[in-house]
């Protein structure tokens, strides 16, 4: 589901796109995303539940598991692939961040953030995972080298 794009809001820069996905039917996503290019943006793929393998033209490869994310700076160009693995549930999001003009041609970079590296704050009937930026004086593993970004995963009690 496309939550944010150029057709959902007039002023969307620096956030170009936000997709949310939620499926309990692996046949809906198992074809994955074969090799494809990106340039001039950063992508943040966050899995709340599920598993996804990935690889890129820099030689980075790995498995993103529940509660983890990857932050990829495409910069002057990168080719990558993503393959969601069949699991009970695939739940997460992907955010595209536009790089400012002066950083469009930076060298590509990749960060894998594991669940154990994500700060968790429990307060007032909520759980806040600080994925990027700062929240309540708690700093995430990343803030965004080119676009300072605050990205939180908030779970609220049903009360």
Return the percentage of the chain with pLDDT > 90, whole number.
84
* Bridge-based pairing state of the strands 68-73 and 15-23: unpaired
Q: pLDDT tens digit string along 26-67?
A: 999 989 999 999 999 999 999 999 999 999 999 999 999 999
Q: What is the pLDDT of the chain when averaged over all its residues?
A: 93
| Residue 102 belongs to domain spanning | 2-116
Q: What is the CATH number of the domain that holds 100?
A: 2.60.120.10
Structure tokens given for 20: 């949310």
pLDDT of residue 158: 83
pLDDT digits 0-9 by tens, 130-153: 999 999 999 999 989 999 999 999
Domain-located, residue 137: no
Is 112 within the bounds of a domain? Answer: yes
Cis peptide before 153 (omega within 30 of 0): no
Domain-located, residue 6: yes
| pLDDT confidence bin for 3, thresholds 50/70/90 | confident
pLDDT interval class at 77 (50, 70, 90): very high
pLDDT at 118: 98
Q: Which of 76, 41, 39, 81 is nearest to 64 (CA)?
A: 81
Q: Please indicate, yes or no, if residue 55 is contained in any of the structural domains.
A: yes
135 located within any domain: no
Whether 75 is covered by a domain: the verdict is yes
DSSP for the chain, written as a single string: -EEESTTT-S--TTEEEEEEEEES-GGGTTT-EEEEEE-SEEEEEEEEE-EEEEEETTS-EEEEETTEEEEEE-TT-EEEEEEEPP-S-EEEEEEEEEPPGGGTTSPPEEEEE-GGGS-EEEETTEEEEEEESEETTEE-SB--SSS---EEEEEE---
Query: Cα–Cα distances in Å, from 33 out to 52, 59, 85, 118?
Result: 11, 17, 12, 26
Q: How many domains does the chain contain in total?
A: 1
* pTM for this model (two decimals): 0.91
Q: Is residue 138 part of a domain?
A: no
Report if residue 110 sits inside a domain: yes
């Amino acid at each position: 589901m496309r939550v944010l794009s150029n057709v959902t809001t007039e002023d969307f820069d620096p956030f170009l796109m936000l997709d949310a996905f939620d499926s309990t039917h692996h046949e809906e996503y198992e074809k994955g995303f074969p090799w494809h290019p990106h340039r001039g943006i950063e992508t943040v793929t966050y899995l709340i539940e599920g598993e996804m393998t990935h690889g890129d033209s820099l030689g980075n490869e790995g498995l993103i598991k529940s509660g983890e994310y990857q932050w990829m700076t495409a910069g002057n160009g990168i080719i990558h692939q993503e393959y969601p693995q069949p699991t009970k549930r695939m739940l997460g999001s992907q955010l595209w961040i536009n790089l400012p003009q002066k950083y469009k041609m930076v060298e590509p970079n990749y960060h894998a953030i594991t669940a154990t590296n994500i700060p968790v704050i429990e307060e007032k009937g909520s759980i806040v995972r600080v994925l990027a930026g700062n929240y309540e004086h708690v700093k995430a593993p990343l803030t965004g080298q080119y676009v300072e970004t605050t990205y939180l995963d908030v779970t609220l009690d049903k009360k």
